[in-house]
Amino acid sequence: MSNYQILTPRLWIRPWTDTDRSGFARFVADAEMMRFITGAVWTESQIDGFFQRQADHLARSGMCMAALCLREGGELIGVAGAQPLDRSVGHDIGWWVWKDHWRQGY
């Protein structure tokens, strides 16, 4: 596992693990959540592609859009991090927070 992580008083951003897939799949299968991200729910193929891209980014650059977890208890609540842009020089930073955790000031 990479040492890529960011800790705040309430949150932990860390690389993805195999056990995160079901939680991530729940996010991207929810139309209300995804209307703010891509406008549509994701297929299994899109989920596979996301996890592969993030693993590739992490291996090549040491960063990725990673698992966003509550620091206390470790619950997966979204996606956060930075990644190289595929189409140009530079980086993309971003976050998605699962709708059950909206309006929490994260």
Q: DSSP character for 54? A: H
- Reported as a pLDDT band with limits 50, 70 and 90, residue 83 is confident
Q: 40 in helix, strand or coil?
A: coil
Give the per-residue pLDDT at 88: 67
Average pLDDT over residues 23-51: 93
pLDDT digits (tens, 9 = 90+) for 52-68: 999 999 998 888 999 99
Give the per-residue pLDDT at 61: 87
Residue whose C-alpha is closest to residue 68's, from 33, 3, 24: 24
Q: Record the pTM.
A: 0.88
Tokens in use for 33? 């959540």
Q: 20 in helix, strand or coil?
A: helix
Question: Which residues are registered as beta bridge partners of 66?
Answer: 80
Tokens in use for 77? 């609540």
Indicate whether 1 pLDDT > 70. Answer: no
- Where does the chain show beta strands of DSSP type E? 6-7, 11-14, 65-70, 76-84, 91-97
Average pLDDT over residues 43-60: 94
Q: What is the mean pLDDT of the chain?
A: 90
Average pLDDT over residues 36-53: 94
Q: DSSP character for 74? A: -
Q: State the CB neighbour count (10 A cutoff) for residue 99.
A: 14
Residue whose C-alpha is closest to residue 82's, from 26, 15, 23, 18: 15
